[in-house]
Amino acid sequence: MVPSWLHNVTSPPSEPEARRPSGPEDAPTHRMDVEWPSDHCPAMLTLQKSMRSPYFPARSVLFHKEPNGVTYRVPALLYLSRSRTFMAFCEERLSPSDSQAHLLVLRKGTFYRNYVEWDDLRVLGTAFLPGHRSMNPCPVYDEFTGTLFLFFIAVLGHTSESYQLVSGRNVTRLCYVCSTDQGDTWKWATFALGPGHGIQLKSGRLLIPAYAYHIECKECFGQLCQTTPRAFCFHSDTHGRTWHFGEAVPVPESVECQMVSVDEEDGTNVLYCNARSPLGYRVQALSLDDGAVFQEGQLVQRLVEPRNGCHGSIVGFPAPLHLCTSLDSHLHQPTSHSRHWTSSNISTSVPNPSPSPPDFLTPTWVVYSHPTWTSARRDLGIFLSLFPRDPDSWRGPWVIYEGPSAYSDLAYLELSPSPGAPPAVAFACLFECGTKTAYDEICFSIFTLYELIDNLPREAQLGNIGHECRRRQNEVPETDCTSGHGAQSPAVFHEEPGVKKRRKKLTEMCSVS
């Protein structure tokens, strides 16, 4: 039985933070096409058969363009595992234009066993500065204190970004609001941003992705000659009481970004940054000191950008090494028309993992979402990387939405098929899409790691990745010429000493061949 308080989570409506009634387009629940039989493999989901080929995960419309032109853009998604709550943020705009952004809005969803119950849309009336428009929501949750921070930028009036660059006059302010009751109430904006989500490191450090324009030449006949965008992050080691800015990614140009803390199997940890770029490909950069300084960036030729680029999202998760053997067995089966995991193609037992060496650390795998076309923002795809520091390691895409699509944000979650069973890895995606334009609506989908792997191009699946890892030990990474950009110079990738050895160890641990 769904608790009655789900429909009245907040206090009675008040200005300016009022709850709005749902329109006819609002989806009150998001249902996953999932069965929970008693005799399934304890670490895997058993899913209903689907004869669709290709397979698209179910989606719910959370925000829909209104008849009067009000548009919802720039989604940001956060999942609070303790309360099993999704928080879907976005901008409310008077029109699709950046200069017509207005306020930030929120919908909260409670995750039950196989569906999400969504509350009505509410305006975040405290997340604004008078005379400014609120943009680029970026939430981060402090697990240590239970404080939810929502960072955003406040831009004066309808001033455009291009005008600020040409005039050299910065009218953008960096702000945040915070909540200690999981978003029911918020404190007023404070001067203190990618869009998307921030992360918290194991040390407790809070990291917020951001970018800024560096003025290369101050003035040339009264106008700025050149500005270059640079991705960076700012961080707090005091649970939000004080914040510090890290150094920007030196080269190449990088814009909106997201970051993941990546553990490697020998105990090494790096901060991985994946950024939008106007150069036709994504840019990635590494930091060895938790975001204080980034190394030079690299073009990721397997991850293409449309003209002028587009925001994308990344999320990391612990590699499920104890399931690699089962996955390997499945991926060597003949390809069927059904690309949805079913009870007929899942093993009923989980093999015992091989003993781990003393210095072994469960590595981090990374999932990435982004439009897959080079000529337009279309066909939102999901990619997977087992070795994030290698720009040639990305595999995919699995297209989860065919048609106009743009910004997206990912969240990682764990599903328990039954009490006492090991959790299964799943992901939620909040993304812009539509039939006529990419900004008609913002939709929400959930899919499992097994669905992702099963719907990747067959040559990109895990059964072949083990072979490829061994091949790459003695070869220079190849250039991906299938992206529509034609032949390009290979992305620079210098493999550090010990990486080959660690990869070989990981391949053996996973038993993939």
Task: Please list the active-site residues.
Answer: 98, 407, 432
Helices 499-510, 462-472: inter-axial angle, 10-degree rounding: 150
User: Residue 503: left if φ>0, alpha if ψ -120 to 50, beta else—which one?
Assistant: alpha
User: Residue 69: left if φ>0, alpha if ψ -120 to 50, beta else—which one?
Assistant: left
* Separation CA 134–CA 132 (nearest Å): 7
* Separation CA 273–CA 261 (nearest Å): 9
Alpha-carbon distances, residue 341 vs 57, 183, 444, 466 (angstroms): 12, 35, 20, 22
Dihedral (C-alpha) 408, 424, 338, 111: value to the nearest 10 degrees?
A: -60
As a residue count, the chain comes to: 513
E strands present in 46-164 = 46-47, 59-64, 71-80, 85-93, 101-111, 115-118, 122-123, 132-142, 147-156
Element of type H or E holding 424: strand 424-433
- How buried is 260 (Cβ within 10 angstroms: 0-12 exposed, 13-18 middle, 19+ buried)? buried
Q: Closest by alpha carbon to 366, among 394, 385, 383?
A: 385
Element of type H or E holding 508: helix 499-510
* 3-class DSSP state of 394: coil
The tokens describing 69, both together, are: 């032109």
**What are the residues facing 270 on neighbouring strands?**
262
Task: Mark 301-332 as b/e (b = at least 16 C-beta within 10 Å).
Answer: bbbbbbeebbbbbbbbbebbbbbbbbbbebbe
* Separation CA 312–CA 124 (nearest Å): 24
Rg value, the chain, Cα = 22
Using the structure block, give the residue that is written with the tokens 């106007």: 278
* Separation CA 408–CA 369 (nearest Å): 7
CA 22 to chain centre: 26
